[in-house]
């Protein structure tokens, strides 16, 4: 089983973060957790109650500006740098948003089979290419993107969901170097976390590397609610889920195919936490 580092971009709510940490300790014990809080946040590490497993939690002392839809990859890069500086022994890094919650055990065994996990949709090559707001010429033509693509020898970038992407330590170190060479440690005007990791993932696939999908299910781009029934199906991994995509949204990567067995987390708004708790409790009672 691999040692995992969860990189979390927290939203400033101690309660939400405590839930994330508790779920990680429950379903992936022994994992490291590195938390980034945006510049200007009033959050302090001491605001999170010290649970039994929280000695594996590291709060990044560097707080960078975060703006919606303008990129948070620099926060994950900073978390990675902090983890390396702390000499943490991990094999893979998993990128979590503030809403991601683990739903079952076995992630460390699953990630061992792949070098990376990310959705890869090629610019101008999918049905939603003209609809997804991130596929814009100005992103492709920006100086930072041009330099990033030149380092990979690619003419176009790819896109994908941000939640639940994972990378080997070696691959993310490569991504970190390319990011630092191409972009500043600040918002870049587009969601870097949805573009740069998938683009690297695409390049790795071209070179014969075994890559997977993200491990987080999200309904952000679909016309569906995550009910207790959906959560139960995600946890068992049986069958497939179907729903229409929202207009001007990226294709929901885990819908319409029998890939739920590869889902280990769910992106869940805070007001749906009770549903998650009920399903997790039912599985324990069963």
Determine, yes or no, domain membership for 97. Answer: yes
Determine, yes or no, domain membership for 249. Answer: no
Residue 111: predicted pLDDT: 97
Give the separation between CA 17 and CA 65, rounded to whole angstroms. Answer: 19
| pTM listed for this prediction | 0.93
Determine, yes or no, domain membership for 228. Answer: no
Domain count for the chain, please give it: 1
Determine, yes or no, domain membership for 57. Answer: yes
Determine, yes or no, domain membership for 234. Answer: no
Domain CATH for 42: 3.90.550.10
Determine, yes or no, domain membership for 240. Answer: no
Residue 233: predicted pLDDT: 96
Give percent of the chain with pLDDT exceeding 90. Answer: 73
Determine, yes or no, domain membership for 250. Answer: no
Contacts of 150 (CB under 8 A, 6+ apart): none
Determine, yes or no, domain membership for 10. Answer: yes
Going residue by residue through the chain, which has 286 residues, state the pLDDT in tens, using 9 for 90 and above: 899 999 999 987 889 999 999 999 999 999 999 999 988 776 655 555 554 446 799 999 999 999 888 999 999 999 999 999 999 999 999 999 999 999 999 999 999 999 999 999 888 755 544 467 788 888 999 999 999 999 999 999 999 999 999 999 999 999 999 999 999 999 999 999 999 999 999 999 999 998 999 999 999 888 998 999 999 999 999 999 999 888 778 888 999 999 999 999 999 988 889 999 999 988 654 4
Structural domain including 165 reads: 4-212
């Amino acid at each position: 089983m691999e040692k995992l580092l969860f990189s979390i971009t927290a939203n400033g709510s101690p309660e939400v973060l405590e839930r994330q940490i508790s779920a990680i300790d429950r379903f992936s014990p022994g994992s490291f957790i590195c938390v980034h809080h945006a510049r200007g946040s009033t959050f302090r590490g001491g605001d999170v109650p010290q649970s039994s497993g929280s000695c594996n939690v590291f709060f990044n002392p560097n707080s960078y500006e975060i703006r919606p839809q303008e990129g948070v990859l620099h926060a994950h890069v900073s978390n990675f740098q902090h983890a390396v500086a702390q000499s943490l022994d991990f094999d893979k890094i998993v990128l979590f948003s503030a809403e991601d919650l683990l739903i079952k055990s076995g992630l460390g065994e699953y990630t061992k089979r792949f070098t990376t996990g990310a959705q890869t949709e090629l610019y101008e090559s999918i049905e939603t290419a003209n609809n997804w707001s991130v596929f814009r010429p100005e992103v492709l033509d920006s100086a930072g993107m041009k330099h990033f693509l030149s380092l990979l020898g690619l003419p176009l970038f790819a896109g994908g969901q941000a939640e639940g992407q994972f990378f080997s330590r070696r691959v993310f170190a490569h991504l970190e170097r390319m990011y630092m060479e191409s972009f500043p440690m600040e918002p870049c005007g587009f969601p870097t976390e949805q573009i740069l990791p998938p683009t690297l993932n695409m390049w790795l696939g071209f070179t014969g590397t075994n890559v997977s999908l993200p491990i987080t299910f999200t309904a952000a781009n679909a016309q569906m609610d995550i009910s207790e029934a959906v959560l139960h199906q995600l946890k068992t991994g049986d069958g497939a889920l179907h729903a229409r995509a929202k207009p001007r949204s990226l294709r929901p990567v885990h819908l319409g195919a029998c890939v739920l067995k590869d889902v280990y987390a769910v992106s869940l708004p805070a007001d749906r936490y009770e549903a998650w708790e009920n399903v997790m409790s039912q599985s324990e009672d069963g």
